[in-house]
Amino acid sequence: MAPIAAFLLVLGALAPSAQSALAQEASPQSGAPPTAAESAATQVPLRPDQVALLQRTLAQAETHGFAHNAYTPAGLDAALASRDPGARRQGQAALVGAVLRYAHDVRVGRLGPSDFPHLWGLRPQPYDASAEFVAAVNQDRLGPWLDSLPPPYTGYDTLRRGLAIYRGIAAHGGWPALSDTALAPGARGPSVAALRARLAIEDSAVPTAGDAYDQALSDAVSRAQKRYGLEPTGQLDKSTIAALNVPVSQRVAQIIANMERWRWLPRELPSDRIQVNIAAAILTVFHNDTPTLAMRAVTGRPGDETPMLSSVISDVLFNPPWNVPADIAAKELWPKERAHPGYFARNEFVVIHTPDGGTRLQQKAGDMSALGHVKFEFPNPYSVYLHDTPTHSTFGRYARMVSHGCVRLEKPVVLADAVMQGDPKWTSDEINQTIASGQTVRAPIPRPISVFLLYWTAFASADGQMSFRGDPYSWDHLLMQRIDAVPHSVT
């Protein structure tokens, strides 16, 4: 008799609700017909201790951002404890189906290929846990295999600890909203006492006694502002009030969304790499997995979002001209030329006639070039890159999402010097002399370096202290919507 047919016969002995739930668990892909590998995996005999381990693992799935009992259907425990050998076997088959689905979700996330918008270019590889599960059972290494499934990164582990903390805050009622009254050192009264109480929920170093806005409270406000990516003035302004008044449920959702994105990364990151946090507008260089250089960046404004992606930088272009994208030329530059004739000439734009009879704009290399003096190129389908800029005042802001999608750099020459390390020709002096010459020069870097553009709106220190950023592109919100739409993956 076929395994699914036998399964349905045994289900007749169970309650109707248990029948429905366990039947869904027969397929690890939430109702889709099981593959041959999945069907084979559900037939692997399990010892009682292995069954217990799998049950404990699924019971703890919520610590990875999944819903409570998301992988434990009604009736499963009864089937596993049944005295009927057939019911136990089919209970085990349903348990294995749930484990395979859990393994897939915790390893590569809950979205299918069609759930990724175009700009989410960082996507996980397909993963079928069946063969690994069978091998782990047969080799008696089920525990190590289960432990290996989540992303093997400290950033994920600290978010997991932060999730437990913020779920605990939510379980105790969260936090009350502060009034919209700005406060500064020297203030006193109930509003100050409420501010102290609110800050203490996320910062154990805040003394809760007293209603005076003293230096200790100002320092606590500054710490909170840093955690939220705001200017640390120590004064309670409207932007700080807004950040403090974000409900704890939304913070929990942010943590879960960022945990999901960690699952999209390769299982091993290059030890030498460049990472850009789009939401925080920060670039970090890693050497031997250790941060060695960080700088402010400018990333895409909403509507001109910087995409998530991974690629490899192989060249640096010194004194690059800017070949203006057609949409920017049409929407922004041609209207300026028509409104103010001579705008192109004053800003060193030239109109280039193309072979097809059309035209395009190019801005000459030099001090006025929108790309500045340095451009880091890497292949990607979005035509974005890292580059210098003639507008350096933007780096003094705490809100720096104003580009057309590319990543502008605070210290592009410093980054060029870092990626050229090991090339005897491209010393710091040679880089500076080449820039000063004004000539456009392409320089291959000695060792191509991976670059990752990532969207982190929640991250944590080793002790679980969370930092949050806004969701400027609403990508957290969209991701949670799409997760919620996946069967059995409601968070």
- pLDDT at residue 36 tops 70: no
Does position 135 have pLDDT exceeding 70, yes or no? yes
Write phi, then psi, for 472 (nearest 5 degrees).
-60, -30
Which pLDDT band, with edges at 50, 70 and 90, does 34 fall under?
Answer: low
pLDDT bucket at 40, cuts 50 / 70 / 90: low
**Average pLDDT rounded to a whole number, residues 19-45:** 58
Contact present, 431 and 416 (Cβ < 8 Å):
yes
Report the 10 Å Cβ neighbour count for 346.
Answer: 10
479 touches 259 (CB < 8 A): no
Work out the number of other CB atoms within 10 angstroms of the CB of residue 207. Answer: 12
DSSP conformation letters of 268-328:
S--SSEEEEETTTTEEEEEETTEEEEEEEEEEEPTTSPPPBEEEEEEEEEES--EE--HHH
Average the pLDDT over each of 106-120, 199-213, 339-353, 442-456 and give the range with the smallest value: 339-353
| In contact, 469 and 229? CB cutoff 8 Å | yes
> Mean pLDDT throughout 83-87?
85
% of the chain residues with pLDDT over 70? 91
Give the whole-angstrom CA distance, residue 398 versus residue 456: 16
Q: Stretch 287-298: mean pLDDT, rounded?
A: 96
Which residue carries 């990532």 as its tokens? 454
Tens of pLDDT, residues 400-440: 999 999 999 999 999 999 999 999 999 999 999 999 999 99
Domains defined for the chain, CATH in brackets: 3-150 (no CATH), 269-454 (2.40.440.10)
- The predicted structure's pLDDT at residue 76: 86
Q: State the Cα–Cα distance between residues 349 and 370, nearest whole angstrom.
A: 11
Local structure of 188: helix, strand or coil:
strand
Among 44-58, 219-233, 242-256, 477-491, the range scoring the smallest mean pLDDT is: 477-491
pLDDT of 151 higher than 80: yes
490 compared with 200, residue with greater pLDDT: 200
Question: What is the phi-psi region of residue 301: left when phi exceeds 0, alpha when psi lies from -120 to 50, beta otherwise?
Answer: beta
What pLDDT score was predicted for residue 2?
39
Q: Among the residues of 408-458, which ranges form H helices?
A: 412-419, 428-437
Instruction: Look at residue 117 and tell me whether its pLDDT is greater than 60.
Output: yes
Query: Does residue 487 or residue 204 have the better pLDDT?
Result: 204
Answer whether residue 203 shows pLDDT above 90: yes
pLDDT digits (tens, 9 = 90+) for 450-488: 999 999 999 998 777 899 999 999 999 999 999 999 875
Residue 451 has a pLDDT of: 98
Q: Which span out of 276-290, 314-328, 385-399, 474-488 was modeled with the highest average pLDDT?
A: 276-290
Average pLDDT over residues 307-315: 97
Categorize the per-residue pLDDT at 169 as very low, low, confident or very high, splitting at 50, 70 and 90.
very high
SS3 at position 50: helix
Average pLDDT value for residue range 158-185: 96
Answer for the pair 265, 108: CB distance below 8 angstroms, yes or no.
no
In this model, does residue 97 exceed pLDDT 60? Answer: yes
From residue 192, give the alpha-carbon distance in Å to each of 184, 219, 292, 344. 9, 14, 40, 55
Please answer whether residues 325 and 304 qualify as being in contact, where contact means their C-beta atoms are separated by less than 8 angstroms.
Answer: no
Q: Across residues 268-297, what is the average pLDDT?
A: 96
Give 83's pLDDT tier (boundaries 50, 70, 90). confident
Query: In this structure, what token pair is assigned to residue 296?
Result: 């402010």
Give yes or no for residue 132 having a pLDDT over 60. Answer: yes
Q: What is the mean pLDDT of residues 110-133?
A: 95
CA distance 155 to 146: 19
pLDDT score at 33: 59
More confident call, 354 vs 302: 302
pLDDT of 19 over the 60 cut: no
pLDDT at 39: 72
Least confident of 37-46, 319-328, 407-416: 37-46
Confidence of residue 32 (pLDDT cuts 50, 70, 90): low
Handedness of CA 459, 464, 467, 470 (dihedral sign): positive
